[in-house]
Structure 1
Amino acid sequence: MKKIYLLLIINAVLILNASKMFAQNRADTLTNVITLRQSILFALRNQPAVKQASIDQQINERDIRIGLSAWLPQVNSSGVYDHYFKGSPVQSTTPGVVSSIDEYSSLGLQASQVIYNNDVLLASRTANYSRLYYKQNTLSSQINVVSDVSKAFFDVLLSEKQLNIINEDMLRLQRSLKDAYNRYQAGVVDKIDYKQATIALNNEIALRKQTSESINAKLAYLKQIMGLNTKNDITLSYDSTTYEKEAYIDTNQTLNVNNRIEYQLLLTQKNLKNLNVDYYRWGFLPSLSAVGSYNLVYLNTHFSDLYKNAFPSAYGGLSLSLPIFQGTKRLQNLSKAKLDVQRTDLDVINSQNTINTEYVQALASYKSNYINWQILKQNVDLAKDVYNVVSLQYREGVKTYLDVIVAQSDLRTSELNYYNSLFQLLSSKIDLKKALGTLAVE
């Protein structure tokens, strides 16, 4: 029966360890087709910079607990054993008689409790600000990841749209080449038209290859900032109509520097440095602790009889340590800490100016990209109408093939410019929200 119980216990332990290992090794998964939101959420879980910020937050929490642990009672034990080869003269209980003690041992328990200590007080006062700083630092990393992933996602989408436009243009060029060649065979035109069509088609084939390779490079960068294994294949899912709706943002919003995480970090740093000033300002105060000890002393001439009799002793009291003169070290540190605060004040002012400049630039970029997008959207419709009319007129012999090439080039350029302006607008919207401090971490 005992063996059965032992086997059950061993199996339970093995299953528990296996489940822990499985939980630790389970990797974050991602579908092959991803949206912008999915890519952002995956990056927030797996991007190394975000993970490092989270680990820094945990390390800081351990540092805080280490500092605050000094407020708790400190208990230590000690033990001593000495053998005197020539003996140790010890006064015996009989007056006038000296006996030689060969063996000595003591066991003790010491305890102390801090009542006031400047170092421990600083650890207590800085705990909340320190937690806030590392929490804000993690949020800053997350905001940067949201911005970087969004822009990289849009960059890949832009190249994919460009590739689609090039493929559509190649179909038109192939039709034009066929028409030009048939007209040449019919003797209506000379061979210049279909040779020009061949040149245009070859150029488009080369451009398609270049664009296709650029997509691979941009996808690799997107995987990198997402924290995704480069071996994983992903396809981006998007809806142009949805992105057109999401391109709008209220440009009448007022800038508030307090919304910027960079500014919040500086203010938290300043609070920590002000506490450092207080630490050196009150560094002349004494340290006070309650102390106590309990000891057992053993004496004998033979080791075998050493621990038969014990002589106990105990005490309790207060321990006071007062710094009298430290060679002006405290005053110098105090002056240095004050200068450090003044320097941070200048960082705060500079940050306000920088944030305002970033906002003005981001707002100007968004407004110009928005106007550009609206104009280029009209150009696409116009270029499609022109190409359809010119292509029909060429087949009827009214227009030359040069007119067809120009119309095709205008249509392709207008479509490329339109999508380029759309994704530039989306990227500038990200910059504007980041400058306003309203870019949400989803």
Structure 2
Amino acid sequence: MSRTAPQSRRALPAIALLVSALLLAGCASTRGLAPEGRPTDADTLAASRSFGEYKLSDAAFPKQDWWTALGDPQLDALIREALQGTPTLAAADARLRQAQAQAGLADAARKPTLGASAQYTGVQAPETLVPPPIGGDLQASTVLMLDFKWSPDLWGGHRAQYEAAVGQARAAEVDAQAARLALSSNIARAYVSLSQAYAALDVAKNEERRSSRLSGLSQQRVDAGLDNDLQLRQAESAIASAQQQAQAAQQQIDALRNALAAMLGKGPDRGLDIAPPKLLAAPAPAVPDVLPSELLGHRADVVAARWRVEAASRGIDASKAAFKPSVNLNALVGLASSGLSDLFGGDALLGFGGPAISLPIFDGGRLRSTLAKSDADYDLAVADYNQTLVMALREVTDALQAARSLDAQIAAANRARDASKSALQVADARYRAGLGTQLDVLSVQRPLLQLEQQLTALQAQRYAATVDLDRALGGGLALNAPPSARTASQ
């Protein structure tokens, strides 16, 4: 009988044990566990009728410096200053580095490792416990080791964990870009509000001057016995009201200056250096003539949400791979001896290693619970993505419709102001011809000032609609979208 026969017989129990373990591995099953969420196909979200006639070419997507279209160099300088670095951007960048480091850890976990160690150990037993020659003698040993470890990725679980971490890192990268867009648009909106506050202050001061002239004229007529105190008291009330409006406008100016300084990452004194805005233009609203999937693919929040769906999907793959057997390779090679002189001799060689197979059998439901959590994480990411799609399309539509409505309102307000100007010219001509009084002139002037105040508010809202539309269209960001971002149903 050959020498291998006894060895084969000794290996039979081990093989039988392995086969039994493989059969029992079915106890840890993924049966009945699956995600329920389905990403919405963006092109199924109809919006063409809501967009109306505002459909142009791809050139309608905003540029990265979209705020320059408002025509105020001071606004350009403020946004450039903010983008150089603020606490908000620093936090977004730190989160990005954190996610990238996590992806690096996941990548390192799937690669072989090799470590080296050196150890010197000395033991001396007391003669009171161990008689000589061992007792009282120092027993020393020196060990040099190389430790190799590797777990081959047989089922793709390690790679899935790495790709999930990469997806999260890419989502954080998009979030960092979105933080810059949010900062620039918030500065632009605050700047528009500051422009409106200054315009309201000018209107209030004009109203105060008009009311003061009316009060002086009313006082003269009362002194001459031509009128009673009614018109005089009305004029005094108008002066106080105008002063209150001027104070409210100044308070808003101060608050907006402080807000802008904070967004720049500076102290409130920085806001005192901001001059009154001089916005020149509000471009006509336009959206690209493309499908919603491409339209929303320019938005940072949509792309980031899609990356998180991809990451959650790979997390499911990693959880499923944990149900299958795994192989670990481990090897220790080194030198060991009781003295340094013998350490590098042939007899000092030390070795240990080999493959180890492990597989789940009974784990108390841990693996199924982990997979169920991964499925829920995916469903949550899908729900967030679907909601982000809907809200993104709503923001585009709201901004577009607001701009269209405000253009019509501004046109109507301009016609009303022109009519009020004509009425003022008629009243002034009658006064100069001796057919009317100065009271008639001042009374006609009041609606004109109110219309000018209304017009400045509408123009500020129109500037804000421009900012909102540029932001809703993605702000000109160059985004790294996942391959399936435009076909979410896949």
TM bucket, shorter chain: 0.7 to 0.9
Amino acid in the other structure paired with 2:349: S
Distance 1:194 1:400, change over 3 A: farther
Shift in Å, 1:271: 0.8
3-state SS, counterpart of residue 348 of structure 2: strand
How many Å separate the matches in 2 of 1:335 and 1:199?
A: 70
3-state SS, counterpart of residue 393 of structure 2: helix
1:157–1:236 Cα contact (<8 Å) kept: no
3-state SS, counterpart of residue 228 of structure 1: coil
3-state SS, counterpart of residue 349 of structure 2: strand
Amino acid in the other structure paired with 2:249: T
Shift in Å, 1:261: 2.0
Q: Normalising by structure 1, what TM-score?
A: 0.77
How many Å separate the matches in 2 of 1:367 and 1:297?
A: 88
Match of 1:418 in 2: 455
Shift in Å, 1:132: 1.3
Structure 1 residue 213 and structure 2 residue 259: aligned? no
Q: How many pairs were matched up?
A: 392
Shift in Å, 1:154: 0.5
How many Å separate the matches in 1 of 2:139 and 2:392?
A: 76
Question: What is the CA deviation profile of residues 353-402 of structure 1, one whole-angstrom value per residue up to 9, with x for unaligned ones?
Answer: 33333333333222211211111123233323322432453465533565
Greater Cα shift, 181-190 or 363-372: 181-190
Counterpart selection for 1:81 from 121, 141, 144: 121
Structure 1 residue 227 and structure 2 residue 265: aligned? yes
3-state SS, counterpart of residue 249 of structure 1: coil
Shift in Å, 1:420: 0.5
Amino acid in the other structure paired with 2:405: S
Match of 1:339 in 2: 376
How many Å separate the matches in 2 of 1:86 and 1:122?
A: 57
2:297–2:303 Cα contact (<8 Å) kept: yes
Structure 1 residue 114 and structure 2 residue 114: aligned? no
Match of 1:69 in 2: 108
Distance 1:417 1:121, change over 3 A: same
* Higher relative strand content: 1
Unmatched tracts of structure 1, length 5 or more: 1-32, 90-97, 299-305
Match of 2:394 in 1: 357
Amino acid in the other structure paired with 1:130: Q
| Bigger relative CO (Cα 8 Å, ≥ 6 apart) | 2
* Higher relative helix content: 1
Match of 1:40 in 2: 79
Shift in Å, 1:345: 2.7
Amino acid in the other structure paired with 1:389: V
Structure 1 residue 285 and structure 2 residue 321: aligned? no
Shift in Å, 1:116: 1.6
Match of 1:303 in 2: none
2:161–2:315 Cα contact (<8 Å) kept: no
Distance 1:203 1:318, change over 3 A: same
1:383–1:410 Cα contact (<8 Å) kept: yes
Match of 2:196 in 1: 158
Structure 1 residue 137 and structure 2 residue 175: aligned? yes
How many Å separate the matches in 1 of 2:451 and 2:460?
A: 14
How many Å separate the matches in 2 of 1:252 and 1:180?
A: 59
2:145–2:334 Cα contact (<8 Å) kept: yes
2:192–2:460 Cα contact (<8 Å) kept: yes
Question: What is the CA deviation profile of residues 93-141 of structure 1, one whole-angstrom value per residue up to 9, with x for unaligned ones?
Answer: xxxxx96664122222223152525775345433542331111111222
Match of 2:415 in 1: 378
3-state SS, counterpart of residue 142 of structure 2: strand
How many Å separate the matches in 2 of 1:312 and 1:252?
A: 76
Q: Normalising by structure 2, what TM-score?
A: 0.70
Match of 1:170 in 2: 208
Amino acid in the other structure paired with 2:180: Q
Please provide the CA RMSD for this pair. Answer: 3.3
How many Å separate the matches in 2 of 1:340 and 1:127?
A: 14
Equivalent positions of 1:242-257 (< 5 A) are: 242-243=280-281, 246-250=282-286, 253=289, 255=292, 256-257=295-296
Question: What is the CA deviation profile of residues 148-203 of structure 1, one whole-angstrom value per residue up to 9, with x for unaligned ones?
Answer: 21111100110001112222333344444445555666666666555544443333
Question: What is the CA deviation profile of residues 296-354 of structure 1, one whole-angstrom value per residue up to 9, with x for unaligned ones?
Answer: 322xxxxxxx5454362233654434234251422332233223323433333333333
Greater Cα shift, 129-138 or 119-128: 119-128
How many Å separate the matches in 1 of 2:115 and 2:326?
A: 22
Greater Cα shift, 353-362 or 130-139: 353-362
Distance 1:206 1:125, change over 3 A: closer
Amino acid in the other structure paired with 1:331: R
Amino acid in the other structure paired with 2:476: A
Amino acid in the other structure paired with 2:457: N
Amino acid in the other structure paired with 2:367: R
How many Å separate the matches in 1 of 2:436 and 2:477?
A: 56
1:247–1:425 Cα contact (<8 Å) kept: no
Distance 1:260 1:428, change over 3 A: same
Match of 2:33 in 1: none
Shift in Å, 1:424: 0.3
How many Å separate the matches in 2 of 1:387 and 1:36?
A: 36
How many Å separate the matches in 2 of 1:142 and 1:340?
A: 28
How many Å separate the matches in 2 of 1:185 and 1:262?
A: 69
How many Å separate the matches in 2 of 1:379 and 1:252?
A: 34
Structure 1 residue 202 and structure 2 residue 203: aligned? no
3-state SS, counterpart of residue 410 of structure 1: helix
Identity %: 14
Distance 1:197 1:287, change over 3 A: same
